[in-house]
């Protein structure tokens, strides 16, 4: 559905996208995971025909993004990073406008947006500017879907939205996928990676890994422990000096401790506890941890 071959794009001296190649299959939710400034938006703008690549080629739904851009614009749905709605128009007016811009009507494709639109329909005469972040996001999604696109590009849809709305949003994406829609989504939130079918880990314009979320975490081949004590700052400092430690970083309210060598968990945890107590840490808590996409991202970034 989306094929990218050796795409590069620079702004002055900054290489925003650097020799990226990837393929997205039809009916897949593909996640582009990376921090702010990784080049996700630039790549999205190239795929949605808004920017021309310096090098390489890309096709979306069989159409070249450079030469076939006019036809392609009929077939893609695009939701930019900022909520690109008309704040002074009502929910209903926004939807109507985007429908007629694509030469269709709300009634014609109502089925597609219905599950999402019913949630904001009670507020249909409210101005878009007065909606909450989560509702704006739903409206923007409706507007991007109203012309029944083949591919949906969502650039950081979760930014500025509360966790509950984010979860609802992902449920919607999953149900859209069952209708055969291909979805390419970018996000800086590592926890959202697990919700995609496949992800590309993106950093400084380059792809570090492409795989299913399970494949990514499965490739993590070091023992990992979650450790906690009464003093996080000192804990991180002390753990980094311990023998046999590969890496240690804050992870929520725990410190994630990556060991260099495999060892029986019980024995390793005992050793860590003894070490921490010798450094007079209180309330020490240690447990084995499953590697998450974020752990993999951090590992890949260091290599």
Partner 1 sequence: MNRFAAFIKKEFRHILRDRRTVLILFGMPVVQVLLFGFVLSNEIKNAAIAVLDPSNDAESIALTNKLVSSGYFRLEKTLNTTAELEPAFRTGHIKMAVVFPPDFAASQDDNTREAPATVQLIGDASDPNTATTLINYANAVIADYQLEKAGAAPGVPVVRAETRMRYNPEQKAVFNFVPGVMTLILMLVSAMMTSITIAREKELGTMEVLLVSPLKPIHIILGKTTPYLVLTLINAAVIVMLGLLVFGMPMRGSILLLAGECVLYMFVALSLGIFISTRAKDQMGAMFMSALGLLMPTMLLSGFIFPRESMPQVLQAIGVIIPATWFNPVIKGIMIKGVGLDVLWKETLIMVAMALFFLALSMRNFKDRL
| Residues in contact with partner 1 by the rule CB under 8 A | 45, 48-52, 70, 73-74, 76, 78, 80-89, 93, 96-98, 100-103, 143-144
**Minimum distance from CB of 193 to partner 1 (Å)?**
25
Q: Which is nearer to partner 1, 158 or 213 (CB)?
A: 158
Give CA–CA dist 243/171, Å, rounded.
Answer: 44
**Minimum distance from CB of 204 to partner 1 (Å)?**
22
**Minimum distance from CB of 97 to partner 1 (Å)?**
5
Helices (H), the chain: 40-47, 69-75, 91-101, 110-120, 133-145, 163-177, 213-218, 232-241, 265-278, 293-302
Q: Which is nearer to partner 1, 97 or 189 (CB)?
A: 97
Q: Which is nearer to partner 1, 93 or 247 (CB)?
A: 93
**Minimum distance from CB of 93 to partner 1 (Å)?**
7
**Minimum distance from CB of 124 to partner 1 (Å)?**
15
Give CA–CA dist 149/190, Å, rounded.
Answer: 27
Q: What is the DSSP letter of 208?
A: E
Give CA–CA dist 59/5, Å, rounded.
Answer: 9
Q: Which is nearer to partner 1, 73 or 279 (CB)?
A: 73
Give CA–CA dist 34/202, Å, rounded.
Answer: 5
Q: Which is nearer to partner 1, 8 or 84 (CB)?
A: 84
Give CA–CA dist 161/118, Å, rounded.
Answer: 19
Chain centroid to CA 2: 17
**Minimum distance from CB of 98 to partner 1 (Å)?**
7
Q: Which is nearer to partner 1, 48 or 217 (CB)?
A: 48
- Residue 73 CB neighbour total at 10 angstroms: 15
């Amino acid at each position: 559905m989306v094929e990218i071959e050796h795409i590069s794009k620079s702004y002055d001296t900054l290489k925003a996208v650097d020799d990226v190649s990837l393929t997205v299959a039809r009916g897949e939710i593909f996640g582009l995971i990376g921090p702010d400034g990784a080049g996700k938006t630039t790549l999205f703008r190239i795929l949605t025909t808004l920017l021309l690549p310096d090098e390489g080629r890309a096709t979306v739904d069989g159409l070249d993004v450079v030469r076939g851009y006019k036809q392609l614009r009929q077939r893609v749905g695009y939701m930019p990073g900022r909520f690109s709605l008309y704040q002074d128009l009502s929910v209903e007016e926004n939807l109507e406008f985007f429908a007629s811009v694509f030469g269709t009507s709300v009634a014609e494709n109502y089925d597609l947006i219905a599950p999402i639109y019913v949630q904001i329909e009670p507020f249909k005469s409210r101005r878009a500017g007065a909606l909450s972040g989560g509702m704006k996001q739903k409206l923007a999604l409706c507007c991007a879907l109203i012309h029944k696109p083949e591919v949906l590009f969502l650039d950081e849809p979760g930014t500025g939205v509360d966790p509950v709305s984010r979860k609802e949003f992902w449920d919607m994406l999953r149900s859209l996928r069952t209708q055969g829609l291909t979805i390419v989504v970018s996000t800086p939130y590592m926890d959202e990676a697990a919700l995609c079918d496949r992800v590309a880990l993106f950093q400084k314009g380059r792809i570090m890994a492409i795989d299913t979320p399970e494949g990514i975490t499965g490739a993590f081949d070091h023992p990992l422990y979650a450790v906690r004590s009464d003093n996080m700052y000192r804990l991180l400092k002390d753990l980094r000096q311990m023998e046999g430690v590969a890496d240690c970083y804050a992870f929520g309210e725990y410190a994630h401790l990556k060991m260099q060598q495999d060892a029986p968990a019980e024995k390793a945890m005992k050793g860590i506890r003894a070490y921490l107590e010798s450094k007079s840490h209180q309330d020490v808590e240690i447990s084995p941890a499953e590697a998450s996409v974020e752990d993999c991202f951090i590992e890949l970034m260091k290599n």
